[in-house]
């Protein structure tokens, strides 16, 4: 796999100043010259793997934070903001962004702040919902989708519930009844034709549709228990996010309630131990914790507890059109999950043709990063109720150099030369001669030759 140069000057400077050290003092500790450290902090030199480990050892932090803290979210973060139609005519390619971040990191950060502020303040009302979702998505990414306080509280509560019953659903139901005077009632689909869950405070009932499967019933009950017993912790996280948007606050609160429910069903330490023992075998994890494929996939993106980290997975949920309705990048920093478009050569799309089967693929992106991915088609929650016949494909991925321990990767050669070449959607992809291409790359000039016909109608200047 091609090594990606990491420019982390702003992060290194922040660490140094936080420790009250001069450049000379930190340079001595890292066994480099002060002038070289100065170049690193000005993003004139990339940071080496050795230096990342030395910094991590001295300042006790996850070295992957250096990548996450790149100005403007790094190249991937800025690329997401430049993906809109406003910038289509500029043909900005990745090399230009690399130069910008290297030469002027502070102006890149300033651009992102002005851009994001503009989204909040001046977006037309028709796009406010999308803007609210973006605000929440960025807050989740800032936390790497790991909320340690919620995890710890859910883990303690899960242990307490296990003392009373091995049946988690029954234990949650009893807790709701005894402590909160709330009963769970399963109602026929005809009574709740357009609803899967309803909290009726007049009758003191959590009413669930019979169309919910066992895993979904437990999850919905766990959400309510979290909303009641982790209310102050969830509210503190929402308030601390300072989203300044009511819709975003409600959406973030909903995400945190679901996070707590997943942590209650799959307590951190027990879940991570099961992952490592089984090679992250999804089916066994589903059975062991009474969870669905989607619930397990989501939980895998959250395993970032200090001192007990799991593999850094990303998760994506798409419909048949390729539209993403969920994305959790976690600690993976995967542009494959962050991209607004999908490559048709990624076999996540084939999941719809063979549902309930896990599809694996080793893929190589243009930036040289290689990923091992798993995909499976699932029905939407409560599918079959009324006119609800929804289906989605769940995609999971982890860096190929970390995938050797996975059950689904056993016996496979994970070297990049064996990977399938894919892109981040045709407008962002510059791979030549792709017969699947449906649009030209934005960053390249088209060429036309009336005497020749290639594999694609879109021929373009290579660079």
Please, which pLDDT band fits residue 12 given cuts at 50, 70 and 90?
confident
Q: Which residues is 360 bridged to in the sheet?
A: 374
Q: What secondary structure letter does DSSP report for 350? A: G
| Cβ atoms 425, 340 nearer than 8 A | yes
The pTM is what?
A: 0.75
In 3D space, the residue among 234, 237, 218 whose CA is nearest the CA of residue 226 turns out to be 234
Please write the tens of the pLDDT for every residue from 164-222.
788 999 999 999 999 999 999 999 988 988 889 999 999 999 999 999 999 999 999 99
Q: Which fold has domain 148-265?
A: Arc Repressor Mutant, subunit A (1.10.10)
Percent of the chain past pLDDT 70, that is, above it, reads: 88
Q: What secondary structure letter does DSSP report for 333? A: -
Please write the tens of the pLDDT for every residue from 318-376.
999 999 999 999 889 898 998 889 999 999 999 999 988 999 999 999 988 999 999 99
Q: State the span(s) of the chain assigned CATH 3.30.450.
A: 296-424
Please, which pLDDT band fits residue 39 given cuts at 50, 70 and 90?
confident
Q: Which fold has domain 296-424?
A: Beta-Lactamase (3.30.450)
Q: State the span(s) of the chain assigned CATH 1.10.10.
A: 148-265
Contacts of 417 (CB under 8 A, 6+ apart): none
Looking at residue 62, what is its pLDDT? 62
Q: What secondary structure letter does DSSP report for 91? A: -
Give the 3-state secondary structure of residue 209: strand
Percent of the chain that is helix, strand, coil (3-state, to 5): 50, 15, 35
């Amino acid at each position: 796999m091609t090594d990606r140069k990491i420019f982390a000057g702003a992060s290194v400077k922040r660490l140094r100043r936080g420790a009250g050290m001069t450049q000379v003092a930190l340079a001595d500790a890292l066994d480099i010259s002060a002038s070289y450290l100065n170049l690193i902090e000005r993003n004139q030199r990339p940071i080496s793997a050795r230096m990342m480990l030395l910094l991590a050892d001295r300042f006790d932090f996850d070295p992957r934070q250096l990548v996450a803290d790149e100005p403007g979210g790094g190249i991937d973060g800025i690329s997401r903001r430049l993906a809109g139609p406003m910038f289509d005519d500029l043909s900005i390619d990745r090399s230009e962004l690399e130069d910008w971040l290297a030469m002027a990191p502070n102006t890149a950060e300033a651009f992102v702040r002005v851009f994001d502020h503009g989204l909040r303040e001046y977006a037309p009302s028709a796009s406010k919902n999308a803007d609210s979702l973006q605000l929440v998505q960025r807050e989740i990414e800032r936390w790497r989708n790991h909320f340690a306080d919620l995890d710890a509280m859910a883990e303690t509560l899960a242990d307490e519930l296990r003392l009373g019953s091995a049946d988690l659903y029954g234990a949650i139901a009893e807790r709701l009844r005894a402590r909160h005077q709330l009963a769970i009632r399963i109602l026929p689909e005809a009574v709740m034709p357009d609803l899967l869950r309803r909290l009726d405070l007049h009758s003191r009932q959590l009413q669930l549709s019979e169309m919910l499967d066992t895993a979904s019933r437990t999850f919905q009950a766990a959400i309510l228990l979290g909303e009641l017993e982790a209310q102050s912790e969830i509210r503190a996280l929402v308030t601390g996010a300072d989203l300044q948007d009511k819709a975003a606050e409600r959406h973030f609160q909903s995400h945190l309630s679901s996070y707590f429910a997943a942590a209650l069903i799959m307590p951190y330490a027990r879940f991570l131990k099961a992952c490592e023992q089984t090679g992250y075998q999804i089916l066994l994890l589903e059975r062991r914790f009474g969870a669905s494929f989607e619930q397990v996939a989501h939980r895998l993106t959250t395993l970032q507890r200090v001192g007990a980290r799991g593999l850094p997975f990303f998760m994506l949920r798409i419909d048949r059109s390729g539209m993403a309705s969920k994305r959790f990048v976690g600690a993976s920093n995967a542009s494959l999950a962050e991209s607004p478009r999908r490559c048709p050569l990624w076999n996540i799309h084939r999941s719809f043709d063979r549902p309930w089967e896990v599809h694996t693929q080793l893929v190589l992106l243009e930036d040289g990063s290689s990923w091992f991915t798993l995909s499976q088609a699932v029905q939407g929650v409560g599918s079959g109720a009324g006119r609800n016949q929804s289906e989605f494909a769940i995609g999971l991925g982890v860096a190929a150099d970390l995938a050797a321990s996975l059950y689904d990767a056993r016996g496979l050669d994970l070297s990049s030369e064996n990977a399938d070449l894919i892109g981040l959607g045709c407008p962002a992809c510059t791979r030549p001669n792709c017969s699947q291409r449906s649009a030209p790359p934005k960053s390249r000039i088209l060429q036309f030759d009336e005497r020749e016909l290639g594999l694609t109608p879109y021929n373009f200047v290579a660079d």
